[in-house]
A and B are shown apart, each in its own frame.
Chain A
Amino acid sequence: METVLLKNLNRPGGHTIESYLGGGGYAAAKEALRMGPDHIIQMVKDSGLRGRGGAGFPTGLKWSFIPKEVFPKYLCCNADEGEPGTFKDRGIIEYDPHLLIEGMIIASYAIGANSACIYIRGEFVFGAERLDEAIKEAYQKGFLGKNILGSQFSLDMFVHRGFGAYICGEETALLESIEGFRGQPRKKPPFPAVWGLYGKPTVINNVETLSCIPSIILKGPKWFASIGPEKSPGPKLYCVSGHVNKPGLYELPMGTTLREIVYVHAGGMRGGRKLKAVIPGGVTAPLLTEKELDTPMDFDSLAKAGSMLGSGAVIVMDETTCIVRSAYIINRFFSHESCGKCTPCRDGTIWMTNVLKRVEYGEGRPGDVELLEDLCASIFGRTFCPLGDGAVMALRGALKNFRDEFVYHVEKKGCMVSGGFGPA
């Protein structure tokens, strides 16, 4: 497949505007500014593009919710990439920032926003610097600023750095954070399309989503829709990490099977060991096992298999992995990142982590596995935002497939896999 999202990844100097223009860059923005907003939104709808941040909401539909008569409007790019296992947006930001900026120009024009913000996580210092430089270049060449390319359309863009809060990847928490508050989610509805940044209509899109836009404009929605499954088409970035020979970032058609990703693209299992479990979409996604490896990696197929595509972060675990330990590490992450707004998540995730920790370290008590299941039931569906649900989904996936390992830890005070405790 011809790559569109990663085509500049390995080109030396590919992040500069000269290189980007040399490869035909900003042609899509020029084209789009001639098309008119409604035409662009229709094209994005026809392409079938669904949000790459995890939820998979149709992008064109999201744009069409923006009321025409309310001003100002805002575009926010969600680059708060924090789902463990995910590093796809970082690849685009660091090595092809102009692809994102061009996508954002087109999106802003389509929804009528004159102000756009990129919310990047604080740890990505290099990425933030790259974006600052690229934005400066785009201003100098007249792709940002007043009256872009004589179109009467004006757009200002800036980078807002987060500072260590996974929850700010939730779109309303992200808006709170830009406004200078603690990053805690807002009640929905009203949705950001109606009541977003400073109470104005706002579209929040993921980096990868926005980076798909230029190729949809240039190659047409039919081309995009022809890649991968009908209901969730397009190219997709998969981040492969863990016990494989070639961990890395791969651009493949949406719907590539897990087996192909692990054994063909990522070079198979390290040391020829047996695969034990795969997390297909970042740690929130319930893990899958060998028997589910032929699942196509798209939104609907993974949902049917009882997991989710999420951010497309494939974390591969071989037979030497203790699932109890993995579950503990994942849950520790959620309790650390819980924003504290609602009780089920704030107290529940910490409680789960405490129980998991004692089970992992051989101090589990009789009934701990049942206690974990009970906690899952008490948290799920009762939290203010999806973070608490995410913690439950991850743990339930582990319990569903590997309950015997948890029971073994509690009863035998030792690990089924390594025999000891703690890191293998």
Chain B
Amino acid sequence: MLSDKVKEDIKRVLNNYANKRSACMAALQIIQGVKGHLTDEDMRELAQLLEVNNVRIQEVGAFYSMYNVAHPVGKHHIQVCANLPCSLLGAEHLVNFIERILDIKVNGTTPDKKFTLSTVECLGSCATAPMMQINDTYYENLTEEKVRDILNSLKK
């Protein structure tokens, strides 16, 4: 069930667009912002709200890689950039390092559901490589020591 607050926020973004359907991406972002991922039920409800067929919402959710469809991620979603500029400066070592200290593999989530580790393509922060994004925040110019400190502060 979508909360009244979510529905209100969706109504507000409708004003930006020429038709209801166009608000689909923004609406999914609002829903994910609250729940961390998207469920079938929520997408069906959104389809009704935007007056489009359910499959239209599903296909958008499936196409864009930042929507977590049906796959809940941990409280802190660690996304390490693995593209060329970061790779040149040791992104793979960083990924291995995080795998070791969290004891999970890439695409895995810790048993306490606190951390999910992913690798992603370029995040547009190449002059401060290597870097990662945890939820909405960028962490740049990373070293093993920095990563350990960041993860320790989030573990609390």
Interface residues of A (CB under 8 A from B): 81-87, 90, 117, 121-126, 158, 160-166, 177-183, 198, 239-243, 247-249, 279, 283, 313, 315, 317, 321, 325-326, 329-330, 333, 336-337, 339, 422-423
Chain B nearest CB, measured from A283 CB (Å) = 6
B66 with A243: CB separation less than 8 A = no
Q: Which of A84, A86, A162, A164 has the most CB of B within 10 A?
A: A84
| In the complex, residue of chain A having the shortest beta-carbon distance to the beta carbon of B83 | A84
Whose C-beta in chain B lies nearest to the C-beta of A334?
A: B121
A325 / chain B contacts, CB cutoff of 8 Å: 87
Given A158-B16, A337-B121, are A87 and B65 neighbors across the interface (CB < 8 Å)? no
Q: Contacts A126-B138, A180-B24; is A165 near B64 (CB within 8 Å)?
A: yes
Q: Is the CB of A82 within 8 A of B64?
A: no
Question: Apart from A87-B124, A178-B22, A242-B88, what 17 extra A-B contacts exist at CB < 8 Å?
Answer: A90-B125, A125-B137, A158-B16, A161-B29, A162-B64, A163-B64, A180-B17, A182-B59, A182-B63, A198-B18, A241-B127, A241-B129, A247-B127, A329-B84, A333-B83, A333-B121, A333-B122
The smallest beta-carbon distance between B34 and chain A, in angstroms, is 15
Contacts known (A84-B85, A87-B127, A181-B60); A161 close to B25, Cβ less than 8 A? yes
**CB of A310 to closest CB in B, whole Å:** 13
Within the complex, the shortest CB–CB distance from B58 to chain A, in Å, comes to 11
Q: Is A241's CB under 8 angstroms from B66's CB? A: no
Given contacts A84-B121, A198-B18, A333-B122, contact A177 B92 (CB under 8 A): no
Q: Nearest Cβ distance between residue B95 and chain A, in whole angstroms?
A: 9
Which of B18, B88, B133 counts the most chain A CB atoms within 10 A? B88
Report which of B23, B127, B137, B138 forms a contact with A239, defined as CB distance below 8 A: B127
* Residue B123 at the chain A interface, CB threshold 8 Å: yes
List 28 A–B pairs whose Cβ atoms lie within 8 Å, in order of A's numbering: A84-B84, A86-B126, A87-B126, A90-B124, A123-B123, A126-B136, A158-B16, A160-B26, A162-B25, A163-B65, A165-B64, A178-B22, A179-B22, A180-B21, A181-B60, A182-B59, A182-B60, A183-B63, A241-B85, A243-B88, A247-B128, A248-B127, A315-B84, A315-B85, A330-B84, A333-B84, A337-B121, A423-B92
| Chain B residues near A82 (CB-CB < 8 A) | 121-122, 124
Q: Find out whether the CB atom of B88 lies under 8 angstroms from the CB atom of A317.
A: yes
Q: A360 to nearest B CB, angstroms?
A: 12
Q: Which residue of B lies closest to A248 (CB)?
A: B127
Let me know if B16 and A336 touch, CB within 8 A: no
Closest 7 CB pairs of A and B: A164-B65, A164-B66, A241-B126, A84-B122, A423-B92, A163-B64, A241-B85
**Are A124 and B124 in touch, CB under 8 angstroms?**
yes
In this complex, the member of A87, A123, A249, A330 whose beta carbon has the largest number of chain B beta carbons within 10 angstroms is A123
Q: Which residue of A lies closest to B32 (CB)?
A: A163
Inter-chain contact B122/A83, CB cutoff 8 Å: yes
Bound state CA distance, A321 and B85, in angstroms? 11
Chain B 1-42, CB-CB to A under 8 Å as 1, else 0, gives 000000000000000111101111110110000000000000
Q: Is the CB of A85 within 8 A of B65?
A: no
Question: How far is A241 from B126 in the complex, measured between Cα atoms in Å?
Answer: 6
- The residues of A that contact B88 with a CB separation of less than 8 Å are 241-243, 315, 317, 321, 326
- Complex CA gap A414/B116 in Å reads 33
In angstroms, Cα B124 to Cα A249, docked, is: 12
Do A313 and B126 touch (CB < 8 A)? yes
B126 near A85: Cβ-Cβ < 8 Å: yes
